[in-house]
Structure 1
Amino acid sequence: MDVHVQGGPAEPFLGARDLFSTEHDLNRPVTVRIRQDPDERTRVSHSDDAHRLTISRQAATSAMARELALHEYAHMHHHEQDHPSHTQSTKEAIYLALAGQSVEQRKLTHCYQIANHMKDVYADDIWMPVVPGDKLVPFLEASLAAAVADRPGDPPSLQQAGTPTRTRRPGEPAARLTPAADPDITAVNAAFALALCERHDLVDDGDRLYDLAHAAAQDAPDVSLREFKQHFASLSPDPDESEFRKALVDITRAYAISESGRAAD
């Protein structure tokens, strides 16, 4: 594997390269561009002769930098191998799933995020057998805990007289002025986290991740945590194009056309 790092520390990306190449390889060279902007999301682009990974300095210097690099190398590997999860048009599958339906814009946006989770399942199937997943569980727990704590609530001006306000727990962030995390997609994200950890035997039944997922599900009564966990966990390890398209269509319909009032898990 040929990896070139620009604008920041090379060690996490070269170390990830050495680990990744023990089991897999990339035919095209990889350029890693590290940017100062802390809001720069990790982005990967591909051409016929190269891959490019753009990542923030904050992410590139974090404790998860090596694992993030492994994850992105796995996406590149699937792209080179024409894996169905990476060749299927997400837009095409979503439009097929929702033909004739009227869907909220927020839910349509979430459908693309859910499709990315499916790609991530297959990317994680590639790299997680290469290194221990001990860093991943705390990372997922912290991300889910932040989203659950950031759930919407009635502003003071809308609270009914006599309604007690919720006391902020120690260590919980103060109230935000920006939009809060959407409970529906937070519940799906929780299902994805559980499915990923169970798929790779990373958690026991009593792990904190289950408590956090349950809290997320309580905030989203129209989303079945159990159903979406099953969608992610049951993805075939080696799908053909038709099988993957059906899985993507099914999970899209389950989310965007779910019945209101479905009980939380």
Structure 2
Amino acid sequence: MKLRVQGTGPTSPFLSARDLFETEHDLSLPVYVQLRDDPDVRTWAGHYDDRHVLNISRQAASSAMARELALHELAHMARYEQEHPSHIQSTEEVLYLALAGKSVERRKLSHCYQIANHMKDIYADDITLAVGPGEKLLSFFESSLAAAVADRPESPPRPGFERLSASADPEITAVNAAFALALAERHELVDDDHRLYDLAHAAAMDAPHIEFEEFKRRFRELARDPDSSSYRQVLVEATRAYVGGSGPAAD
């Protein structure tokens, strides 16, 4: 697998990620790592006819998570080359099928994209966690969820209602918690008394209209090798579960 780092910055995390990845997988197209100045740029993979591009900020490339972030994006590239349904299914098509005839808030529509990305991440991390350790990923989930749960509003809550995760939207925070716990359980990264369970419970309590356990089950039990039709149906059902309502089947 060919990997080239473009721009000034560390190279060892990407070379280390490549070495881990190549113990089980390979890519047909070369990978260009684009180091960006903007520290707010999220790590993401771009796919083109002749290459993949791993976009990452220099700040992230110098962090303790750099190798894990790179390995995760290499796994996305592998899924794309495999034409895995999670990586070639149009999210827009799913939203049209799931939400036809419904009026949906803009924030909830953006959350539906995030749910689709969570499913992509689970399939990518089935590769990531097969070739590398999961301790740093688990710590990242724990710290991120702890920050959301601890972020309380400045103003007092309404009588009889204490909001546990304030700044982040509580509904998608609950779904994010379900995703984190589902991935941890799917790969047996947590014991029953792990702190992630307490944090996820707090996030779920903040969003009583979200079926937390059902979302966790959906994420955890995603079929390892779905066909296009069954994957589309699962994503349609998850979308409807989040925004409410029902409709015709995806096929």
- C-alpha distance in 2, partners of 1:189/1:106? 15
Whole-Å separation in 2 of the counterparts to 1:231 and 1:28:
32
Q: Identity over the aligned pairs, expressed in percent?
A: 66
Check if 1:135 corresponds to 2:120.
Answer: no
Per the alignment, in what secondary structure is the counterpart of residue 190 of structure 2? coil
CA distance in 1, matches of 2:175, 2:18: 31
- More helix per residue: 2
Moved more, 230-239 or 33-42: 33-42
Please provide the CA RMSD for this pair: 2.0
Q: Which runs of 5+ in 1 are unaligned?
A: 167-178, 260-265
Task: Tell me the SS of whatever aligns to 1:236.
Answer: coil
Q: Where does 1:207-226 land on structure 2 (aligned, <5 Å)?
A: 207-226=194-213
Q: Tell me which residue corresponds to 2:114.
A: 113
State the alpha-carbon separation in 2 of the partners of residues 258 and 130 from structure 1.
Answer: 40
2:68 partner SS: helix
Residue ranges of structure 2 left out of the alignment (5+ in a row):
247-251
Separation in 1, partners of 2:130, 2:64: 19
Superposition pairs of residues 145-156 of structure 1, within 5 angstroms: 145-151=146-152, 153=153, 155=155
1:12 counterpart residue number: 13
1:250 equivalent in structure 2: 237
Instruction: Provide the C-alpha distance between the structure 1 equivalents of 2:21 and 2:158, rounded to a whole number of angstroms.
Output: 53
Query: 1:93-136, CA deviations, whole angstroms, 9 ceiling, x for partnerless residues?
Result: 01101111121111111000000000000000012111111111
AA matched with 2:38: D
Q: For 1:1-265, what aligned pairs fall within 5 Å after superposition?
A: 1-7=1-7, 8-151=9-152, 153=153, 155=155, 180-257=167-244
After TM superposition, give the deviation of residue 202 of structure 1 in Å.
0.1
Shift of 1:150: 2.4
Distance 1:80 1:159, change over 3 A: closer
Paired with 1:186 and 1:205, the residues of 2 have a C-alpha distance of: 21
Residue 138 of structure 1 and its aligned partner are, at CA, apart by: 1.0
Distance 1:213 1:258, change over 3 A: farther
Deviation at 1:258, TM superposition (A): 6.4
Deviation for aligned residue 1:154: 5.8
**What's the counterpart of residue 169 of structure 1?**
none
TM-score after normalising by structure 2: 0.92
Residue matched to 2:249: none
Q: Give me the whole-angstrom Cα distance separating, in 2, the residues matched to 1:95 and 1:206.
A: 41
User: 8 Å contact 1:85–1:119 — kept in the other structure?
Assistant: yes
Q: How far apart, in 2, do the equivalents of 1:104 and 1:190 lie?
A: 22
Cα deviation, residue 22, structure 1:
0.9
- Residue by residue, what CA displacement relative to the aligned partner does 1:159-204 show, whole Å, maximum 9, x if unpaired? 78xx9x99xxxxxxxxxxxx92000000000000000000000000
Shift of 1:155: 2.5
How many angstroms does 1:211 deviate by?
Answer: 0.2
Q: Secondary structure at the match of 1:92?
A: helix
Q: Distance in 1 between matches of 2:86 and 2:188?
A: 23
The one-letter code of the counterpart of 1:123 is A
Alpha-carbon distance in 2 for matches of 1:245, 1:62: 36
Counterpart contact for 1:31–1:52, Cα < 8 Å: yes
| Cα distance change of structure 1 residues 33 and 221 upon mapping to structure 2, 3 Å threshold | same
Residue 36 of structure 1, CA deviation: 2.1
Aligned partner of residue 131 in structure 2, secondary structure: coil
Secondary structure in 1 aligned to 2:175? Answer: helix
Report the CA distance between 1:34 and its aligned residue. 1.0
Provide closer, same or farther for how the CA distance between residues 85 and 159 of structure 1 changes in structure 2, counting only shifts above 3 A.
Answer: closer
